[in-house]
Amino acid sequence: MSKNWIEISLSNKHIKYYNYKDFFNFEVIGSGGFGKVYRANWKNPRNTLALKSLNDYTAKNIVYEVSTL
């Protein structure tokens, strides 16, 4: 697996990165086999968003699938 696939994906805008510090007021609104879903506010602009946090197993599978493309 290529170490810098994530950097390439970020630079090609296939993955959008947001700093965790830009969000506040987290509230769990759902959970399931893949992870949890949170409601949070985004500081700039102050929008309410849904954020999905993947569990380790799911994240590793996504990394594997993306690396084989």
The binding site comprises 52
Sequence ranges of the binding site for ATP:
52
Measured CA to CA, the distance from residue 54 to residue 40 in angstroms comes to: 16
Local structure of residue 32 (DSSP, 8 states): -
Note the maximum CA span of the chain: 38
